[in-house]
Amino acid sequence: MSKTQIQIFDTTLRDGEQVPGCKLNTPQKIIIAKQLDLLGVDVIEAGFPVSSPGDFKSVEEISKIVKNATVCGLTRSVENDIKIAAEALKYAKKPRIHTGIGTSDSHIIHKFKSNKEAIIERAVRAVSYAKSFVEDVEFYAEDAGRTDNEYLARVCEAVIKAGATVLNIPDTTGYCLPHEYGAKIKYLMENVKGIDKAIISCHCHNDLGLATANSIEGIINGARQIECTVNGIGERAGNTALEEVVMIMKQHPYLNLDTNINTTMLYGISQLVSENMGIYTQPNKAIVGANAFAHSSGIHQDGVIKNRETYEIIDPKDVGVTESAIVLTARSGRAALAYRAKNVGYELTKLELDVVYAEFLNFADTKKEVIDSDIHEIIKTTKIYN
């Protein structure tokens, strides 16, 4: 049975760039956009064109160079935003305007000082106006995570009638639990008239560390697009991490979901984004962190040396990491020491290993990590090769 294709909508250059102090300039954005296109993302959200001349320029330049992906520009439900976005996207082979408005009571009452019917009218006007420029119009219901499902369904129905091709259901504040977010998507799939004319998109924030889990629940319940960023960067606690959702689908084939992503590029693009944004990736970050394939305790090292799959569910090569790392610390065992010693040229017998290991433990207690040059030193101290 062929797998259901999930669209990957990358918003590293828009929502991801909302990380305080991490502004990218246009040449940097172009470098990242080219790599995202090669990576195989389906949509690149290149910026928010009305927000600044720099962002307009970035969206325009990215539109010129992207070969395969749809290029998308964000707007509010404001005519001028939409007109400017259309202008910035004019060179794109596949342009998309992403427009929307807040739909939760909190947004309607406090942000817009409006009411539910007036918000639907604004949403419909925005989508219709965007449709006068491009065929592909995505609508976001900001704070959909805290929007009552019945009203959300009415908003979705109205914007589909106006021509929206994608319905973005953002958990803007990262509040939903996975089962709630999944139920919301299911409710929309079952209750929005005309839902077959559009696809639902998940856009989850990570305030409670649930962005990835929520996005996966969303697609299990019928959504067909995930909005995400490289390394999960973004406003506050960030967005859904692209590398996480992609590898979840790859490592769980029974879900029967697939993407166009070339996963062997994941580590490289993670490094590229981290360097350009000046944001250090936490070592324990899933998939792309420095320790994601590093083993330091004796029991784990012994297992991995015998068979990598004992403690690794992903082949590091599948995400562009050359190999698993056996890190030597005072918690390491003989198997790890013998393995690393062999890598630097010493084939130790069992007796030799006993001697070297005793010396190694004394040394390792004084250091965080024992590196290759230390191994030479330790072996020299034992005099077994004199």
- Contact residues toward ligand KIV (CB under 6 A) are 15, 140, 142, 168, 170, 172, 203, 205
Residue placing its CB nearer to ligand KIV in the complex, 140 or 360: 140
Residue placing its CB nearer to Zn ion in the complex, 12 or 28: 12
For the chain, how are helix, strand and coil distributed in percent, rounded to 5?
Answer: 50, 15, 35
Taking the complex as a whole, the smallest distance from the CB of residue 128 to ligand KIV amounts, in Å, to: 19
Taking the complex as a whole, the smallest distance from the CB of residue 101 to Zn ion amounts, in Å, to: 14
**Is residue 143 close enough to count as binding Zn ion by CB under 5 A?**
no
How long is the chain? 386
- Residue 295 binding target from Zn ion, ligand KIV, none, CB below 5 to 8 Å by type: none
| Element containing residue 164 per DSSP (H, E) | none
Residue placing its CB nearer to ligand KIV in the complex, 95 or 100: 100
Taking the complex as a whole, the smallest distance from the CB of residue 53 to ligand KIV amounts, in Å, to: 21
- Residue 346 binding target from ligand KIV, Zn ion, none, CB below 5 to 8 Å by type: none
Residues 6+ apart with CB under 8 A from 219: 6, 202, 226, 257
Q: From the list 9, 10, 15, 47, which residue makes contact with Zn ion (rule: CB under 5 A)?
A: 15
The full DSSP string for 260-326 is ---GGGHHHHHHHHHHHHT-PPPTT-TTTSTTTTEE-SHHHHHHHHH-GGGT-SS-GGGGT----EE
Residue placing its CB nearer to ligand KIV in the complex, 147 or 221: 147
Taking the complex as a whole, the smallest distance from the CB of residue 108 to Zn ion amounts, in Å, to: 18
| 360-to-111, 224, 252, 332 alpha-carbon distances in Å | 63, 53, 40, 10
Residue placing its CB nearer to ligand KIV in the complex, 203 or 340: 203
Taking the complex as a whole, the smallest distance from the CB of residue 325 to Zn ion amounts, in Å, to: 34
- Residue 182 binding target from Zn ion, ligand KIV, none, CB below 5 to 8 Å by type: none
Residue nearest to Zn ion (CB): 15
Taking the complex as a whole, the smallest distance from the CB of residue 96 to ligand KIV amounts, in Å, to: 13
β-strands 70-74, 95-102: how paired? parallel
Q: How many residues bind Zn ion (CB under 5 A)?
A: 1
| 79-to-101, 113, 133, 208, 275 alpha-carbon distances in Å | 13, 19, 12, 34, 36
Residue placing its CB nearer to Zn ion in the complex, 36 or 328: 36
Q: Of the listed pieces 2-10, 13-21, 108-116, 214-222, which binds Zn ion according to CB under 5 A?
A: 13-21
Residue placing its CB nearer to ligand KIV in the complex, 188 or 338: 188
Taking the complex as a whole, the smallest distance from the CB of residue 290 to Zn ion amounts, in Å, to: 27
* CB neighbour burial string for 238-259, b if at least 16 within 10 angstroms, e if fewer: bbbbbbbbbbbbbeeeebebeb
The full DSSP string for 3-21 is PEE-EEEE-TTTTGGGSTT
Taking the complex as a whole, the smallest distance from the CB of residue 114 to ligand KIV amounts, in Å, to: 18
- Residue 140 binding target from Zn ion, ligand KIV, none, CB below 5 to 8 Å by type: ligand KIV
- Residue 165 binding target from Zn ion, ligand KIV, none, CB below 5 to 8 Å by type: none
| 193-to-7, 174, 264, 294, 315 alpha-carbon distances in Å | 22, 27, 40, 50, 43
How many CB atoms sit inside 10 A of residue 154's CB? Answer: 17
Q: Identify whether the C-beta of residue 2 lies closer than 8 Å to the C-beta of residue 36.
A: no
SS3 for 62?
A: helix
Q: Which of 286, 284, 290 is nearest to 271 (CA)?
A: 290
Residue placing its CB nearer to ligand KIV in the complex, 77 or 332: 77
- Residue 181 binding target from Zn ion, ligand KIV, none, CB below 5 to 8 Å by type: none
Residue placing its CB nearer to ligand KIV in the complex, 127 or 356: 127
Q: At residue 327, what is the residue type?
A: V
- Residue 206 binding target from ligand KIV, Zn ion, none, CB below 5 to 8 Å by type: none
Taking the complex as a whole, the smallest distance from the CB of residue 191 to Zn ion amounts, in Å, to: 24
- How far, in Å, CA of 260 to CA of 198, rounded? 20
Please report, as ranges, the residues that interact with Zn ion according to CB under 5 A: 15
